[in-house]
Amino acid sequence: MAPTTVLTGARVVLPTGTVTDGRVIVEGTRIAATAPEHAETLDASGHWLVPGFVDLHNHGGGGSSFAGGTAEDILHGVRTHRAHGTTTLVASAVTGDLDFLARHAAMLAELAEQGDIAGIHFEGPFISPCRKGAHNEDLLRDPDPAEVRKLIDAAHGHARMMTLATELPGGLASVRLLTEHGVIAAVGHTDATYEQTVQAIDAGATVATHLFNAMPPLGHRAPGPVAALLEDERVTVELINDGTHLHPASLQLAFHRAGAARVAFITDAMDAAGFGDGRYMLGPMEVEVADGVARLVEGGAIAGSTLTLDRAFQRAVTVDGLPVEDVVAAISANPARLLGLDDRIGSLEPGKDADLVVLDEDFTLKGVMRRGEWVVDPQLG
């Protein structure tokens, strides 16, 4: 018999709403519907229980990079984010030489096979030099479907998402190829017009990579990609809620226009997340982190973030004033659904993995459970 633990007395956020004085039953690695008579009981009064966080877009943490580190480096970064509530994580690569990206994808695929990561996101090299952000312009290229296929194959079935500037030559054909192979096509680092973005969505693109960032701003005569991505119900929009990448009004606009069901909070984190200020490498690019903000040493462009999803959650509720239920959707349920994993993660329902986060009344992280084991023990009575 698998050991059973019952967490009682908490405010539990479920897909149907928040239950006060609720309980979550953990049997082995799963959430259960009923508990045996003599199960261990932990009093979680005064706390919130929410599903484990799901990060679609993450380049590293704890001083380790997912874009070029060893397997042990990557696992260290994964563990860093788990300690901040991210129980499911997609490892994001950055622009690099195509052969290097293929070799690195093969290594990441092994970690995905082991269940350490939920797959691979290729951010670059098929992006616009006009909106390159912290990517090396010398390594950018148009999205040739044959090269897109090379990266898909290198990932051995674990390619989850690819960010493209779909207005470039080969962009729409690449979107169709990705869709045919079950890989999410994401519009990002793009200089597309509104009309070109609509074409990409019609071709199969379903995600906006860090909406507002690395794309033309919303204009009254040239609405650009932001308007097209916000208005289409087929699209989920990523948001980096760190107080640097987005003005609060932009975040509110995205929630009001897209609705809570189409927003996914991401970190876009680099090595410094959960680590500290200093000099780092993001792929081949040198980054200076000062006061928690990452910028390229050369040019000063924002280079990812140092965000962890527990901070994004707390900020969304306490600063942005979003309902807790909407934040849980954006940080757990929506990305789980997008990845096709919502039968297993994304909510605290019986039968799903016992991935959960314990927050105090101020929404500060106190505990993290992944597959029934405490990553961060909340020391409940």
pLDDT in tens, 145-181: 999 999 999 999 999 999 999 999 999 999 999 999 9
Find out whether 40 is annotated in a ligand binding site.
no
Do residue 11 and residue 24 come from a single domain? yes
Mean residue pLDDT of the chain comes to 96
Q: Are residues 206 and 320 in the same domain?
A: yes
For tokens 């897909």, name the residue: 15
Give residue 304's region: left, alpha or beta (phi > 0; psi -120 to 50): left
Using the structure block, give the residue that is written with the tokens 């040493």: 297
Number of structural domains, the chain?
2
Q: Give the bridge partners for 42, in sequence order.
A: 7
Does the annotation place 256 within a ligand binding site?
no
Structure token pair of residue 335: 């990305």
Task: Based on the fold, state whether residues 99 and 45 are members of the same structural domain.
Answer: no
Q: Is 123 annotated as a binding residue?
A: yes
Please pick, among 268, 342, 353, 355, the residue that the annotation labels catalytic: 268
129 and 278 assigned to the same domain: yes
Tokens found for residue 153: 């194959």
Range of the domain at 351: 4-50+346-376
Q: Tell me how far apart the alpha carbons of residues 76 and 53 are, in angstroms, rounded to a whole number.
A: 18
- From the CB of residue 16, how many other CB atoms can be counted at a distance below 10 Å? 9
Determine whether the annotation assigns residue 304 to a binding site: yes
Say how far apart CA 261 and CA 165 lie, in whole Å.
25
205, 161: one domain? yes
User: Would you write out the chain's pLDDT as a tens digit for each of its 381 residues?
Assistant: 678 999 999 999 999 999 999 999 999 999 999 998 889 999 999 999 999 999 999 999 999 999 888 999 999 999 999 999 999 999 999 999 999 999 999 999 999 999 999 999 999 999 999 999 889 999 999 999 999 999 999 999 999 999 999 999 999 999 999 999 999 999 999 999 999 999 999 999 999 999 999 999 999 999 999 999 999 999 999 999 999 999 999 999 999 999 999 999 999 999 989 988 888 877 777 888 898 888 888 888 887 889 999 999 999 999 999 999 999 999 999 999 999 999 999 999 999 999 999 999 999 999 999 999 999 999 997
Ordered alpha helix ranges (H), the chain = 71-82, 98-114, 145-154, 171-180, 194-203, 224-231, 248-258, 309-318, 324-328, 334-338
Q: What is the pLDDT of residue 1?
A: 65
The two three-digit tokens of residue 354, written as one number = 């016992």
| 268 carries an active-site annotation | yes
The answer to whether residue 123 sits within a structural domain is yes
pTM of the model: 0.96
